[in-house]
Amino acid sequence: MAYVPLADQEQELSHPHSWVTKYVWSQDHKVIAIQYGGTAIAVGLVALVLSLLMRMQLGFPESFDLIDPSSYYQSVTMHGMIMVVYLLTALFLGGFGNYLIPLMCGARDMVFPFLNMLSYWVYLLSVLILMASFFVGDGPTGAGWTLYPPQASMAGTPGSDTGLVLMVASLAVFIVAFTMGGLNYVTTVLQARCRGLTMMRLPLTVWGIFVATILGLFAFPALLVAAVMMLFDTLLGTSFFMPAIIESGSPLDYNGGSPILFQHLFWFFGHPEVYIVALPAFGLVSDVLSTHARKNIFGYRMMVWAIIAIGGLSFIVWAHHMYVSGMNPYFGFFFATTTLIIAVPTALKVYNWVLTLWEGDIRLNAPMYFAIGFIFTFIHGGLTGLFLGNVVIDLPLSDTYFVVAHFHMVMGVSPVLVLFAALYHWYPKVTGRMFHEGMAKLHFWCTFLGTYAIYLPMHYLGFLGVPRRYYALGTTDFIPESANDLNTTITIAALFVGASQLLFFINIFWSLRNGKKADPNPWGSASLEWQTPDTPPVHGNWGDELPTVYRWPYDYSVPGAHQDFIPQNTPESEEPTADEVHFDPDQDASKANT
Amino acid sequence: MSLIKALTEKPWEHKGVIGGLDPEGVFDTASEKVALVIFLVIASVIFSMFTVSYYVRMELPDWTPLSEPSQLWINTGLLVISSVLFQWARSTVSAGKQKNIMTAFIGGGVFAILFIAGQLLAWQDLQAAGHYVTSNPANSFFYLLTGLHALHLLGGLWVWSKSSIRLLSGGKTEDLRLSIELCTLYWHFLLIVWLLMFAVLSNT
C-alpha cells in the first residue's frame, strides 16, 4: 500500500453545529488543548495556594494558625502530586501537545479526534476525583507525593483511608486519559505529517513532545501497576507491599510484603516523569529561543539525538531516588554512573541553546525573557543534580532542604518559566490578540528574581542540615536562629511570587478583549503553525489545501529574504536569488569602518 | 526508511520536496494499526511489570506456591480455538471471500467468552478450596493477573461486539477488513500473554 499521509486523505472531521459540540464536547484539537490547559492551570492554582499555606507555617511558625501538622502533610502531598502530574504533564502534553502537534505537522487534526476528546474528559474526571478527596471525612492523603507504603496506609498518616484510595484511583484514571491522548500524539507525528515534512524537518517542540509522550506511555504503566497493587492492599487486605507491622500496639493483618518493591515501581515511573515534563520544555524553549534570536537552532540534529538519548537513559536512572532506602549498595554505584551519564546530553542541549543566542539578532520580547531565564534556572538546578546523583553526597543531603531546592529549581521553576515563555509566545496565535508586553516583562522579573529569592537560600538551609518534611523546626542545637530568619525571608519571597502570578492572569484575560489585534505571524516565525490562513486557526486548520513543506523550520536571518526568514511552506522558486541578495546592513557598517 | 538514515538527515542542506524527502509515514500501514501496536507494547509493559513484581515478591519467606486448578488447561484450549478462528476470519477477509466469515469471526468471540467463563470457574474452584485473594501473595497475584488478562479480553470483546453487529446487520466484509485484522492481532497478543502467564503461574 503506497503511503498517503493521513492529512491528505479525506479525513472524517467532525462538523460541529451547536455551541456545545463546538466548545464543550469538541473534537477539535485546539479546543481540547485549551480545555486541557485551562483545567491544568486551575488545578495548579490550588497547588500554588497549598504551597503558600505551607510557607506561612514554615516562615511564621508561631504566628499563624492556618494549618496543623496533618493538613501540612496533606498540603505537601497534594501540592507535589498536582504540580507534577495534573499540572505539568497535562499542560505540556495535553495542552501544548494537542495544540501544536497537528499545526506543526500540517495536519487537520489528531488522527483519532474522538479518542482525543475522551482523553480530556477522562482527565477532568481524574482531577475531580482528586479534588473530591479534599471533601471526604479525613481529607486527602498526607503520605507525601511518593505515597510510600507502609506509612501511606497506616492510621497515623492523615487521609490514610479514603484519601489514599481517592488519590490512587485518580492516578489510575489519569493514566487511562494520558494513554488515550498519548496514542494520538505519537500516531499523529508518525503518520499524519503533511507533504514534505520528514521527521528531521519537525520543529524541536514536536520532537520533545513526541519523545516525552513515548516515555509517558511506557513509564505510566509502572505507576498503574503500583497503584493497582496498592489499591488491593488498602481495600482487599492483600500484602503486596505491606509488611508484617504493628499499629498502636496491635499487629495488622498484613504479612511479608515488600515496601521496596513499591519504591522501585514508583521511581521506574517517577524518574522518566521528570523527563516527561522536561523534554517538552526543552523542545518549546528551543523554538522560542531560535525564533527570537533570529538564528537557526544550533546543532539541530544533535538536539534531536540528545532528546532521544535522554529519553532512553531516563529509564535506567530511577534508583538514584532510592540511595537512602536500604537497597544493595552496588545498585547505587550503577545508578550514580547512569545518572552522571545523562548529564552529558543534557549539558549538550544547554550549550546549544547558548550557542543559538551567540551573535544572534536577539529580540528581547517577553517570551524571550522567560526562555533565557530558563537557561539560568536550569543550569543551577542541573548542577545541584550532579551533587545529588553521587551516593556519598546524596546520603547526608537527601533529607534536607537541599533536595527541595534542587528539584524545585530544575523541575518546578525551569519548566514553569518555559510554560510562560510558550504561553506568551503562542498567545497571539491562539487568541488572535497581543498581550501587554510591559506587564508580561514585569511578570517575568517578579517570577525570576522571586523564585531565586526562594530557592537559593534553601540550598544553604540544606547544607546546614535543616530537614525537609517537618511541620515545625522547634529549637535544636544544630539549627541556628538565622535559619529561622531565612525561612521567614523565603516565605515573604514565596508570597510575593505567588501574588505576582496575578499579573499573568490579568494580562491574558485583559488582552483577550483589549489586546492589539495580532498579526498572523507577529514574531516572524518560520514553522508551520504560524502560516495558517486564519488567526486563530479555524476548525480544520488549513482551509482548502494542506500545506507542503519545502525546508526545515529554522531558516532565520536568511540574507535577502523578504522578512529575514523563510517559512517552511515557501517553495524554492520563491526564495531570493543570488542577485536579489541585499547587502547586510551590519556588514555594510563594518566594511565602512575598515 | 531506515531509522539511521532518517535521523542523520541534514535538514538544512536539502530543500524542496525531492527524492528521499518525499513524505513517508514511518509505518506503511493504517494509523489504527500503528496505534494498536503501540497499545500492545504498553500492555506488554504492564504485564511485564506485574511479572517482575511477582518474581520479586516470590523471594520473600511467606510465599506459598499455589497449585493451579486443572480447569486452566481447558481454558487454554478455548483461547487457542478463539485465536485460530480469528485467524481464519482474517485469512478469509484477506482473500476477499465472504463465505464462513460469520462462523469464524463470531465464533472466535464466543470462544473468548467461554474462556472468560472458564476463568470464573477456576476462580470458584480456588475459592471452594479456601484459596482466597488475601490468603497468600501467590493467590493475590493469581487473581490479579488472571483478572487483568480477562479485563483486556473484555475490552477486545467490546470492539468485537461492535463489529459483529455490523457484520450481522449486513455490513460488507470489505468495510470490516481492518477491524477484523486488528481484532485478530489483539487476540493473538492476548493468547501469547496468557500462555506466558500460565507458564509462569504453573512453574512457580
What's the whole-number average pLDDT of chain B? 90
What is the chain A residue with the closest CA to B8?
A: A301
What is the chain B residue with the closest CA to A297?
A: B12
The residue count for chain A: 594
CA distances A320 to A269, A342, A381, A388, A441, Å, are 13, 12, 16, 8, 38
CB contact under 8 A, A1 and B53: no
Give the model's pLDDT for residue A577: 59
Q: Chain B: give the shortest CA distance to residue A594, in Å.
A: 33
Q: Domains of chain A by range and CATH?
A: 25-197 (1.20.210.10), 532-594 (no CATH)
Q: How many CB atoms lie within 10 A of CB A499?
A: 12
B174/A contact by beta carbon, under 8 A: no
Share of chain A above pLDDT 90, in %: 82
Confidence check: pLDDT of A580 > 60: no
Q: Chain A: give the shortest CA distance to residue B143, in Å.
A: 11
Share of chain A above pLDDT 70, in %: 94
B144/A contact by beta carbon, under 8 A: yes
What's the whole-number average pLDDT of chain A? 92
Contacts of B46 in chain A (CB under 8 A): 221, 224-225
Beta-carbon-side half-sphere exposure of residue B108 (alpha carbons within 13 Å)? 30
Max mean pLDDT range (A20-29, A233-242, B95-104): A233-242
Q: Between B16, B35, B46, which is nearest A572 by CB?
A: B16
pTM of the entire structure? 0.94
List Cβ neighbours of A151 (8 Å cut-off, separation of 6 or more). A143, A157
- Residue A246 gets which letter from DSSP? E
CB contact under 8 A, A554 and B31: no
Domain segments of chain B as ranges: 31-203
Q: Between B17, B134, B144, which is nearest A196 by CB?
A: B17
Contacts of A187 in chain B (CB under 8 A): 31, 34-35, 38
CB contact under 8 A, A238 and B140: yes
What is the chain B residue with the closest CA to A261?
A: B53
Report ipTM (2 d.p.).
0.93
CATH class entry, domain B31-203: mainly alpha
Contacts of A194 in chain B (CB under 8 A): 23
Q: Which pLDDT tens digit goes with each residue over A202-237?
A: 999 999 999 999 999 999 999 999 999 999 999 999
CB contact under 8 A, B9 and A193: no
CB contact under 8 A, B35 and A551: no
Beta-carbon-side half-sphere exposure of residue A7 (alpha carbons within 13 Å)? 34
B2/A contact by beta carbon, under 8 A: no
Give the model's pLDDT for residue B27: 77
DSSP run (H or E) holding B104: helix B101-128
Give the model's pLDDT for residue A44: 97
Q: Which pLDDT tens digit goes with each residue over A469-508?
A: 999 888 888 888 899 999 999 999 999 999 999 999 999 9
CB contact under 8 A, B144 and A194: no
**Dihedral, CA of residue A387, residue A388, residue A394 and residue A397, to nearest 10:** 90
Q: How far apart are CA A232 and CA A257, in angstroms?
A: 12
Give the model's pLDDT for residue A21: 79
Q: How confident is the model at residue B23 (pLDDT cuts 50, 70, 90)?
A: low
Q: How far is CA B101 from the centre of its chain?
A: 21
B18/A contact by beta carbon, under 8 A: no
Q: How confident is the model at residue B5 (pLDDT cuts 50, 70, 90)?
A: confident
Confidence check: pLDDT of A27 > 80: yes
Q: How confident is the model at residue A592 (pLDDT cuts 50, 70, 90)?
A: very low
Q: Which pLDDT tens digit goes with each residue over B163-193?
A: 999 988 887 777 789 999 999 999 999 999 9
Average pLDDT over residues A267-282: 96
Q: How far apart are CA B82 and CA B185, in angstroms?
A: 12
